[in-house]
Structure 1
Amino acid sequence: MTAEGEALTGGMVNAGAVFRRGALVERPAPRNARALHAYLHALKEHGFDAAPTPVGLTGDGREQLTFIPGEVALPPFPDWAMTKAALASVGSLLRRLHEAGAAIEVDTRVEWPRDLADPEGGTVLCHNDVCPDNVVFRDGRAAALIDFDLAAPGRPLWDVAMTARYWVPMADPATAADLHPAGLDAPARLRVLADGYGLPPRDRAELPGVIEQATEVCRAFVARRVADGDSAYLQALAERGGWERWDRVQTWLADHRTTFTAALLN
């Protein structure tokens, strides 16, 4: 415990700047904090209790939120976080988020972040960053989502695609093995996620293509960070195979599109 509180690890955007003080978490506030806090309060009003509750904003540009107890899987991701039961529970939790969010009118006057947003837009506020670092587990099941900084309007299917990228994961075996346990069956796991979410047939047919679209958006996001000289992204790019890795992932996704579609629909 430091003078600022207990430092919380995980994620790249706010690395080293998130602290816990007892029942509160204090972190840098996003530019749209007031609108985001209003959304998080509205989620609670519509029955979704699996997100932090905003407490307030400080005078020095930070936000305070309730701390959610549990386990968060950090890379390299442990076996317990990559079980089929854990994966299905992530899908179920995401569905609950979208069902509650569908009843909340998104404020279109707000400048929601475009970093990982659905380029086609939408009427539901998507989380956009449901990676293992941002899911709190209890008893082996996904219990809550944290870090809504990149939330923006989009299609629920876009959020499923983004989540699949991180949790299946949707990457060639060599790339997946960098952070995930070896030998994960991507087509089977994509089906588990879709089943856990309750994805309808039409969306299942579209999901592989949307995952490819989401991967392009993620690559562009990384490219912008690298161009801006962000040291965390420069280091991660260098350590994980550079742009050749992204080329390999995107080629692998396109080559296996039919396999993924069959796994989702059959």
Structure 2
Amino acid sequence: MKEAEGEVPLSGGRITPDVVRVGNTVRRPVTAASEFVTELLGHLERQGFTGAPRHLGLDDSGRDIFSYLPGRVTPRFQTWSHDQVLAAGVLLRSFHEATRGSHLAEGHPVVCHNDPGPNNVVFRDDRPTALIDFDMAAPGHPLEDLGYMAWTWCASSKPQAPPARAQAAQVRILADAYGLNASDRAALIDAMLDRQARNADWWRQHLHAPDPRVASNDQILSRIAWSLREHDHTAAHRSVFEAALR
């Protein structure tokens, strides 16, 4: 899609194409999730939660308009500082608490973002300050988001990553920052493993899908393989991760 004059392509998201910045706004194609996202962002605004964009209506092309949040969105996962992991946990807890008990949670404890990786967070002064890209948001349990966050912010199977003990220490920092209770702490590593397996399954479902594609088959196969390596890494060091949470 060719961008109109004054439109700057944004490349942070991997799933929704044709996202652009126009001045102090972001324009995105309407999706099946748009109605829920619009209601969710309105609710967050009414609750005083500042860590999310505002929905501003539709433009003349029928695209969703969101407020632009200044800052940096990382293009890839990397090793984060303890302070950054702590701030991410506080941000996630604040988001969950703003949805707890709302009609949007539909009888579940909270609304989950479902993709709170570093690539969906705005950093200001190198600190996580806001969540973006709520297309996968849905009612759920906090551990669904925490398992994903513990994985994508703290753990990695890459050879150059910190050792498992250092990764486990950051999982504890995340759990402490969130204020995770004892029973949920005991279930956090299972939640990590579940999200890694679900990520592989999600990408597997998009193999050989018709256009428009979220990625090429080669890219999808690479992401499946990566998710499975991450799952194997977490499972192999499970005792180390669990010991850090006690």
Indicate the TM-score class for this superposition, using the shorter chain for normalisation: 0.7 to 0.9
Q: Distance in 2 between matches of 1:47 and 1:159?
A: 21
Percent identity for Structure 1 against Structure 2: 34
TM-score, normalised on structure 1?
0.82
1:137-152 superposed matches below 5 A: 137-152=123-138
- Given the superposition, is the C-alpha separation of residues 96 and 76 from structure 1 closer, same or farther in structure 2, using an over 3 Å criterion? closer
**1:236 is matched with which residue: 199, 210, 219?**
219
User: Are 1:173 and 2:174 an aligned pair?
Assistant: no
CA distances 1:99-129 after superposition (whole Å, capped 9, x unpaired): 1110421175xxxxxxxxxxxx934110011
Q: Within 2, Cα distance between the matches of 1:19 and 1:134?
A: 15
Aligned CA-pair RMSD:
2.3
Q: Are 2:178 and 1:197 equivalent residues in the alignment?
A: yes
How many angstroms does 1:254 deviate by?
A: 2.0
Report what 2:197 is aligned to.
216
Q: Is this contact kept in 1: 2:151–2:192, CA < 8 A? A: yes
Q: Which moved more, 1:148-157 or 1:248-257?
A: 248-257
- CA contact under 8 A between 2:87 and 2:127: conserved in structure 1? yes
Whether the aligned pair in 1 keeps the contact of 2:99 and 2:105 (CA below 8 Å) is: no
- Between the aligned partners of 2:153 and 2:10, the Cα distance in structure 1 is 21
Partner of 1:256: 237
* CA–CA separation in structure 1 for the residues paired with 2:52 and 2:70: 11
Contact 1:187 1:260 in 2 (8 A): yes
| Structure 1: runs of 5+ lacking an equivalent | 109-120
Compute the displacement of 1:231 (Å): 6.2
Gaps of 5+ in 2: none
> Which letter does structure 2 place at the counterpart of 1:99?
E
Q: Distance in 2 between matches of 1:147 and 1:12?
A: 10
How many residues are treated as equivalent by the alignment? 240
8 Å CA contact 2:97–2:110 kept in 1: the answer is no
Match of 2:15 in 1: 13
Whether the 8 Å CA contact 1:4–1:19 is kept in 2: the answer is no
